[in-house]
A and B are shown apart, each in its own frame.
Chain A
Amino acid sequence: MCAMSPSRILSEVYGQAECVRNSNLKSFSDQIVADIYGNAEQITKHVLSKKESQRISFDLTIDNLVTSKWFGYPLMILLLVGVFWLTIEGANFPSELLATVLFAFQDQLTLWFQWAGAPNWVHGVLVLGVYRTLAWVVAVMLPPMAIFFPLFTLLEDSGYLPRIAFNLDHIFKRAKACGKQSLTMCMGFGCNAAGVTSCRIIDSPRERLIAILTNNFVPCNGRFPTLIAITSIFIGGAIASYSGLINALVISAIILLGVAVTLSVSWLLSVTILKGEPSSLVLELPSYRRPKFGAVIYRSMLDRTLFVLRRSIMIAAPAGAVIWILANVYIGDQNILSSVAHVLNPFGQLIGLDGFILMAFILGLPANEIVLPILIMSYLSTGSLQDYSSLEELRNVLVSNGWTWLTAINVMLFSLLHWPCATTLLTTYKETGSKKWAFLSFLIPTLIGFTACFILTQVVRFLGLV
């Protein structure tokens, strides 16, 4: 009896302590946080005087408009169309100018190579391969990026972007994803690799993974030139007046399709391999402020434009050399490029493309912006990347190679829905730390792209529309 009691007392005390711990752990930690905030509040009251009532009412007025039932969505779509219209229209002239200057310099380079007595193949690899690809990538990519990124940064700096997440969250909620995914998608317009990195803003690991795997469904800067060129040729070009506006509308429609696919795939992932707790959202809506133009230019130019450009140049340069070699090494009477295209052709035809298009997409793995130039190069089989002086000329090249409006739509579809570029794949691998997810981020869009093009092509052919 006597020996029992101390241990009984001990276990009783222990039991009570456990009881207290379980019931009060949360409120205890709450108390600590509340105390910390209480202290901070006291200090703030002493040292800070506020005159913000006017600003808050200003914020409320803007929010009443941009998050309203009737104006919220149209305003967002208007902004989207506006940004792309400015990018497309604004990039036209500088792109042409850059192309003229850079390709003129190529002739100068050729002269220097001849003067130095370099062998033909050295000139081929370095000038026709590397330099020409670089010139193309810079001419096609730099102007739209130099317009798009500052515009995007402007929206970001003004405080409007989180309102997009606020407006769209209920849609993402239905897809069991996080509303902040809309922001990582916006970033993806600039560059999917940057978009994948920006998924760090999403708190829950499950939703972050969904956002990473679906980021590729928003067309990035490298794919816009392809989309824009094909739209201008086959759709905007067909309706001469307002073609700029129509192009912007078509591009916006493609983007909306990408958004729809993003949402469906997000939902599909969250009911299959990424099943889990329903998601949550904690979103801060900052005050609106006047963007600091210096900072906007600095950040968009140095951090984004030059960063993305540098990376694509690093990838495009070796790719240019490889493509030139493929196009200029002959097996029998065909270069390697054409031989591969012939092998791919039956498969390409099945999904409404052709062997050359499919091969251009495969060779475009390092960087999406070189897809169209590779394609033109292989059509003309000139062995080096082509610049085209007018869209009309480009149209003739494509039509004479059997392009119809169905081919054009399929190429745009496939450009939207196909494997991510090598950089994005590498970034996905780094962000998720797993080869499995990186491979899945390759597989999902690829399967969807093939399926979508296949169904569209078969339906259109069955109906006899082409």
Chain B
Amino acid sequence: MKGAERINSLSDLSLGSDCQIVSLELSGLLRRRILDLGIVPGTLIRCIRRGPSGDPTAYMVRGTLIALRSEDAAQIFVRKLSNGEECV
């Protein structure tokens, strides 16, 4: 474990940036649904585009485009990947 890692929430990501899921702080139905889609700790995820009004945001996960609202994405924590690391 690197100590200096910055943990952000998924909703803070800028467009086009890659990151890796650290933890999910969601609960209930939504949490299960997110896990079902393969958004689990360790998964690589890229922020692709925002809706016409800035919300929801579409993320590329495992080759699939999935849209999430910012409130939900705010509860998913990620580690930003620098350019040298593996991309999605």
Interface set of A (CB-CB < 8 Å, partner B):
26-27, 29-31, 33-34, 37-38, 41, 50, 52, 59-60, 63-64, 67-69, 72-73, 166-167, 169-170, 173, 179, 203-204, 278, 280-287
Given A27-B23, A73-B52: A37 touches B40 (CB 8 Å cut-off): yes
Is B56 a contact of A179 with CB atoms below 8 Å? yes
Name A30's contact: one of B41, B49, B52 (CB within 8 Å): B41
Is A204 a contact of B29 with CB atoms below 8 Å? yes
Taking CB atoms, residues of chain B closer than 8 Å to A31 are: 41
Q: Which residue on chain B has the smallest CB distance to residue A169?
A: B56
| Highest count of chain B CB atoms <10 Å: which of A34, A60, A64, A72 | A34
A46 to chain B, nearest CB (A): 16
User: How many angstroms between the C-alpha atoms of A50 and B88 in the bound complex?
Assistant: 13
Is B72 a contact of A280 with CB atoms below 8 Å? yes
Is A281 a contact of B56 with CB atoms below 8 Å? yes
Given A34-B41, A52-B63, A282-B66: A170 touches B51 (CB 8 Å cut-off): yes
Is B55 a contact of A169 with CB atoms below 8 Å? yes
User: How many angstroms between the C-alpha atoms of A283 and B51 in the bound complex?
Assistant: 12
Name A283's contact: one of B40, B41, B56 (CB within 8 Å): B56
Is A283 a contact of B66 with CB atoms below 8 Å? yes
B45 to chain A, nearest CB (A): 13
Taking CB atoms, residues of chain A closer than 8 Å to B49 are: 63-64, 67
Name A284's contact: one of B35, B48, B64 (CB within 8 Å): B64
CB of B47 closer than 8 Å to a CB of A: no
B42 to chain A, nearest CB (A): 5
Is B23 a contact of A282 with CB atoms below 8 Å? no
Interface residues of B in 23-52 (CB under 8 A from A): 23-24, 29-30, 33-35, 37-38, 40-43, 48-49, 51-52
Interface set of B (CB-CB < 8 Å, partner A):
23-24, 29-30, 33-35, 37-38, 40-43, 48-49, 51-56, 58, 62-69, 71-72
Given A63-B49, A169-B56: A281 touches B72 (CB 8 Å cut-off): yes
> What are 10 A-to-B residue pairs whose CB atoms are below 8 Å?
A30-B35, A33-B35, A38-B42, A41-B62, A170-B53, A203-B29, A280-B69, A280-B72, A283-B67, A284-B65
Is B64 a contact of A173 with CB atoms below 8 Å? no
The number of A-B residue pairs with CB atoms under 8 Å apart is 93
Is A285 a contact of B65 with CB atoms below 8 Å? yes
User: How many angstroms between the C-alpha atoms of A7 and B68 in the bound complex?
Assistant: 50
Is A169 a contact of B64 with CB atoms below 8 Å? no
Taking CB atoms, residues of chain B closer than 8 Å to A179 are: 56
User: How many angstroms between the C-alpha atoms of A285 and B56 in the bound complex?
Assistant: 12
A48 to chain B, nearest CB (A): 10
Name A167's contact: one of B34, B48, B52, B72 (CB within 8 Å): B52
Is A285 a contact of B67 with CB atoms below 8 Å? yes
| Highest count of chain A CB atoms <10 Å: which of B29, B52, B56 | B52
Taking CB atoms, residues of chain B closer than 8 Å to A280 are: 30, 69, 71-72
User: How many angstroms between the C-alpha atoms of A173 and B33 in the bound complex?
Assistant: 19
Q: A203-B29, A284-B64 are in contact. List 15 more A-B contacts (CB 8 A).
A: A30-B35, A34-B41, A34-B43, A37-B43, A166-B67, A169-B67, A170-B55, A282-B66, A282-B67, A283-B56, A283-B67, A283-B68, A285-B58, A285-B66, A285-B67
Is B51 a contact of A67 with CB atoms below 8 Å? yes
Taking CB atoms, residues of chain A closer than 8 Å to B72 are: 280-282
A257 to chain B, nearest CB (A): 22
Is B40 a contact of A30 with CB atoms below 8 Å? yes
Is A173 a contact of B41 with CB atoms below 8 Å? no
A17 to chain B, nearest CB (A): 22
Given A52-B63, A278-B71, A282-B68: A37 touches B30 (CB 8 Å cut-off): no
Taking CB atoms, residues of chain B closer than 8 Å to A281 are: 56, 67-69, 72
Q: Which residue on chain A has the smallest CB distance to residue B35?
A: A33
| Highest count of chain A CB atoms <10 Å: which of B38, B42, B49, B69 | B69
Taking CB atoms, residues of chain A closer than 8 Å to B55 are: 169-170, 173
